[in-house]
Amino acid sequence: MSEPGRIVTGCLAPHPPHLVYAANPEQNEPRSSGAGAWAPLLEGYARLRESIKDKEYDVILVHTPHWKTCVGHHLLGVPHFEGLSVDPIFPNLFRFHFDLQVDVELAQAIHDEAEKEGLVMNMMRNPEFRVDYGTITSNYLVRPAFDLPIVAISSARTYFDYSDEAGEREMLALGAATKRAVEKTGRKALLLASCSLSHRHFTDEPADPEDPSFEHIYNENQSKWDHHVMNLMQTGQTRRLLEEMPDFIAQANAECRDGSLTWLLGAMDVPNMEAKIHGYGTVIGTGNAIVEWDLAAAEVQA
Ligand SMILES: [Fe+2]
């Protein structure tokens, strides 16, 4: 029998398309001005890439807030997708020609395990499907080559249709199902929760969207919540973070309401290890942290 799989590292990897725009990859049509508004986040992603560059993993799993599905949780279910992904809010910044492979066997295993948890699940079998910019941005910023297969999971509407508490319970169950599927299929997986922290944002932008004089947190309430949450992560208080999540979501308009962070914590079995903060910064006033839970290193230490 093959070796059981494991989650190597889990990351909070937010997806502002601005960061792809600033990096000027050839796949993205708009060109950056180079004015430098988002340097703290770009440097944070560089630190994350450095931290994971020698790790052994064979698939990247991402839970994305920008593939919103009304009936249940969906997974990409076709081995190859290519096309043009456009951010509907920022088409001036993100028109990205994507070409990526999907680990359909693992996606199907997550689907099956999550059904056992009582969740409504669906496989996306349309080969023409336009992959959302959250999936693409987080993957690009963590591993720009797109040379490993991915698994992408949609954001179901449970938080919005029922309650934040019901949403949290579903995402923990989906996380547990993800962990079991990774173990059963023998994968070594890198997990990405593709969401911001606080998410109150400006509704206009300057002539140059990369103008650093425009960029700052929307209000101090958000900043305080973000730093509190990062402190809980850094000190290994993930259980307390989950207890406070509904308040964080309500009071800081957190993008965690799409479930990505809770899914990640659930998949990692709510670890009480200290997370590493690689960077924090704002994009159009939202708070974004790049955070790593290095499970493989923690295992070696133990
Ligand atoms: Fe977003």
How many angstroms separate the alpha carbon of residue 302 from the centre of ligand 1? Answer: 36
Mean pLDDT of 200-211: 92
Mean pLDDT of 163-183: 98
Per-residue model confidence as pLDDT tens digits over 25-37: 999 999 999 999 9
- Banded model confidence at residue 3, pLDDT cuts 50, 70, 90: confident
How many angstroms separate the alpha carbon of residue 299 from the centre of ligand 1? Answer: 32
- Banded model confidence at residue 300, pLDDT cuts 50, 70, 90: confident
The pLDDT value given to residue 281: 97
Distance, CA of 287 to CA of 82 (rounded, Å): 31
Distance, CA of 249 to CA of 236 (rounded, Å): 20
- Banded model confidence at residue 154, pLDDT cuts 50, 70, 90: very high
How many angstroms separate the alpha carbon of residue 65 from the centre of ligand 1? Answer: 6
The pLDDT value given to residue 267: 98
Superfamily per CATH, domain 6-301: LigB-like (3.40.830.10)
How many angstroms separate the alpha carbon of residue 14 from the centre of ligand 1? Answer: 8
Give the pair of three-digit tokens for residue 261.
């962070």
How many angstroms separate the alpha carbon of residue 194 from the centre of ligand 1? Answer: 8
Mean pLDDT of 150-175: 97
Distance, CA of 287 to CA of 201 (rounded, Å): 9
CB 92 within 8 A of CB 81: no
Burial 213-226 (b: 16+ CB within 10 A, else e): ebbebbeeebbebb
How many angstroms separate the alpha carbon of residue 196 from the centre of ligand 1? Answer: 7
How many angstroms separate the alpha carbon of residue 173 from the centre of ligand 1? Answer: 23
Q: What mean pLDDT, rounded, does the chain reach?
A: 96
How many angstroms separate the alpha carbon of residue 210 from the centre of ligand 1? Answer: 18
Per-residue model confidence as pLDDT tens digits over 59-92: 999 999 999 999 999 999 999 999 999 999 999 9
Residue 88 burial (C-beta neighbours within 10 Å; 0-12, 13-18, 19+): exposed
Per-residue model confidence as pLDDT tens digits over 219-252: 999 999 999 999 999 999 999 999 999 999 999 9
How many angstroms separate the alpha carbon of residue 67 from the centre of ligand 1? Answer: 10
28-32, 189-193, 207-211: range with lowest mean pLDDT:
207-211
- Banded model confidence at residue 299, pLDDT cuts 50, 70, 90: confident
Distance, CA of 52 to CA of 55 (rounded, Å): 5
Mean pLDDT of 111-130: 97
Residue 3 burial (C-beta neighbours within 10 Å; 0-12, 13-18, 19+): exposed
Per-residue model confidence as pLDDT tens digits over 128-145: 999 999 999 999 999 999
CB 254 within 8 A of CB 197: yes
| pTM for this predicted structure | 0.97
How many angstroms separate the alpha carbon of residue 1 from the centre of ligand 1? Answer: 41
- Banded model confidence at residue 301, pLDDT cuts 50, 70, 90: confident
The pLDDT value given to residue 252: 97
Distance, CA of 262 to CA of 170 (rounded, Å): 9
How many separate helices (H) and strands (E) can be counted in the chain? 10, 10
How many angstroms separate the alpha carbon of residue 108 from the centre of ligand 1? Answer: 26
Per-residue model confidence as pLDDT tens digits over 274-290: 999 999 999 999 999 99
How many angstroms separate the alpha carbon of residue 195 from the centre of ligand 1? Answer: 6
How many angstroms separate the alpha carbon of residue 286 from the centre of ligand 1? Answer: 10
Residue 1 has pLDDT above 60, yes or no: no
Cα-Cα-Cα-Cα torsion 99, 61, 300, 241, nearest 10 degrees, comes to: 140
How many angstroms separate the alpha carbon of residue 199 from the centre of ligand 1? Answer: 8
The pLDDT value given to residue 302: 78
